[in-house]
Chain A
């Protein structure tokens, strides 16, 4: 059976989302079609405003509301500006913030190095990180990319780039399951990982 074009388009778009297979994509699409209330409209509006109303912090590249230059964390004078935690994406900031155990500030890379996908250092927020460090005041950088092969490679690359500045560079790894994402680690595991961060050699 050939599906009407709009439905097929929706299924194909949903299928491109992470964690959504062909089956769930079809199920979601048909659910939206059937849903009597305003769900489909609400969703459409929310999606529409997403890119316009959400912006990235110009300091750390975490998400923030449109119109703000800096995010709440960067603007918070109680946060320790000498301690910087480098993460893959904004979701990792959320996970670490939930633990309530990290007093410093963040830097969001928006991805990891992956030559297969054509992602090199210039495609990530690495240059702004170097600039931040160059401006001074930072004593320790914690590299908290995921313990995957690409996460490790990115951490190694950053360590090489940060070496000339002579600050303390540590790796958040211990306690995290190998191949596990920060996003899925429970709070206690993250707290232990923060406490046990290791000098990179």
Chain B
């Protein structure tokens, strides 16, 4: 799929931006602080309805818009036309800042319209797909487990239609269950009441575990293939899913399986996982009450990345981590494409500067096949003349975007 038009109003430093976007590689060139990353952030927001840079949507609104919101309703807007298969679609997101009552501060509300009809985020997610790769994403490998869960969730939500909704319902059940555990911990009471929250927690949780098993297995196959090409066969990359509730039998006295051994959870039936999860919860009831929270489940899942058996999060070198991340990201593209039958729009922020010459060439080769790629750089020299000839080069300066050359027109 590919974007044909994008317009932004009061998004980051763009007071107003209108862009016709062709179906090809577009190279956004500009010095620091001109709006390159912000543009990619906007496109990704239309796919995930959350920013890859911040949890606070308010930061996405232009400073002036936030300032005005003290006295009036003010709006930031992202709209896109895109082509998916043979269909043309229109997507709009409104970020609405409005005063609460009188003198009670302001709040932000999100409205999403697909083909002019208002929808919930979980209904729209997956209609327009994008994969983003930025240098700070090495956090996926190096950061805490919540970084990895967030990453996996954003990829899966775009790919499995019911994932986003199931995940949000799971968190609703989790919040209720945690509230009850906290009450039981502080005030005591009948712990049998927990079982009614075990039901939605395990029903929704087992579904999420099942999707993660499936997705990580498929992602690993792609990542291993790509990583082997990129490292010229020197490294074997593995993605190891470590569900916090382990549905497979574990060695006596251990809650998880050892990292080193490949495990196959693909044969597990949904009902089998659900029942096991529920039984496990029964067993740890006393401990959960003592701690006042739910101790196992998808909200505590972990994924580890291994190269030649070595855990990259703990022992990876800078270069190894960058390369592995490149493989994982390209695997995500390939996986999404095989699952949905459509190329996602690929967004690469300052990625070239981080790679050596060989890896750059590999990446550019790979991108030549993609439908639409938006790349940012401060330095055009990082790209080969061939690539620049095929791509469209746009100059980004002070929140404005202007074509620098269009080889297609010169021919």
Residues of A within 8 A of B (CB): 2-3, 8, 11-12, 15, 22-23, 25-26, 113-116, 118, 120-121, 149-150, 152-154, 156-157, 160
A58 and B200 alpha carbons, distance in the complex (Å): 33
A26 and B183 alpha carbons, distance in the complex (Å): 37
A80 and B195 alpha carbons, distance in the complex (Å): 33
**B197 within 8 A of partner (CB):** yes
Which of B307-345 touch A at CB < 8 Å? Answer: none
Query: Which residues from chain A contact B177 at a C-beta distance below 8 Å?
Result: 115
Contact of A153 among B98, B100, B196 (CB under 8 A): B196
Min CB distance, A8 to chain B, in Å? 6
A115, B200: Cβ atoms closer than 8 Å: no
Min CB distance, B282 to chain A, in Å? 15
**B391 within 8 A of partner (CB):** no
A118 and B182 alpha carbons, distance in the complex (Å): 11
**B179 within 8 A of partner (CB):** yes
A157, B102: Cβ atoms closer than 8 Å: no
Chain A minimum-CB-distance residue to B180: A115
A25, B101: Cβ atoms closer than 8 Å: yes
A15, B183: Cβ atoms closer than 8 Å: no
**B172 within 8 A of partner (CB):** yes
A15, B196: Cβ atoms closer than 8 Å: no
**B235 within 8 A of partner (CB):** no
Residues of B within 8 A of A (CB): 98-104, 169, 172-173, 175-177, 179-180, 183, 189, 192-193, 195-197, 199-200
Assuming A26-B102, A153-B196, what are 17 further A-B pairs, CB within 8 angstroms?
A2-B103, A22-B98, A22-B102, A22-B104, A115-B179, A116-B175, A116-B176, A116-B179, A120-B183, A120-B189, A121-B193, A153-B197, A156-B196, A156-B199, A157-B193, A157-B196, A160-B196
Min CB distance, A201 to chain B, in Å? 12
Chain A minimum-CB-distance residue to B176: A115
Min CB distance, B360 to chain A, in Å? 49
A113, B196: Cβ atoms closer than 8 Å: yes
9 closest residue pairs by CB, A with B: A115-B179, A115-B180, A116-B179, A22-B101, A156-B196, A153-B196, A157-B196, A115-B176, A22-B100
Query: Which residues from chain A contact B180 at a C-beta distance below 8 Å?
Result: 115
B101, A153: Cβ atoms closer than 8 Å: no
B196, A11: Cβ atoms closer than 8 Å: no
B199, A153: Cβ atoms closer than 8 Å: yes
Query: Which residues from chain A contact B102 at a C-beta distance below 8 Å?
Result: 3, 8, 11, 22, 26
Instruction: Pick 29 A–B contacts, CB within 8 A, sort by A.
Output: A2-B103, A3-B102, A8-B102, A22-B98, A22-B99, A22-B101, A22-B104, A26-B101, A114-B176, A115-B176, A115-B180, A115-B197, A116-B175, A116-B176, A120-B183, A120-B189, A149-B173, A149-B176, A149-B200, A150-B176, A152-B199, A152-B200, A153-B197, A153-B199, A154-B196, A156-B196, A156-B199, A160-B192, A160-B195
A154 and B104 alpha carbons, distance in the complex (Å): 35
Min CB distance, B179 to chain A, in Å? 4
A22 and B195 alpha carbons, distance in the complex (Å): 38
Query: Which residues from chain A contact B195 at a C-beta distance below 8 Å?
Result: 160
Query: Which residues from chain A contact B199 at a C-beta distance below 8 Å?
Result: 152-153, 156
Query: Which residues from chain A contact B179 at a C-beta distance below 8 Å?
Result: 115-116
A118 and B176 alpha carbons, distance in the complex (Å): 10
Min CB distance, A14 to chain B, in Å? 10
Min CB distance, B182 to chain A, in Å? 8
Query: Which residues from chain B contact A150 at a C-beta distance below 8 Å?
Result: 176
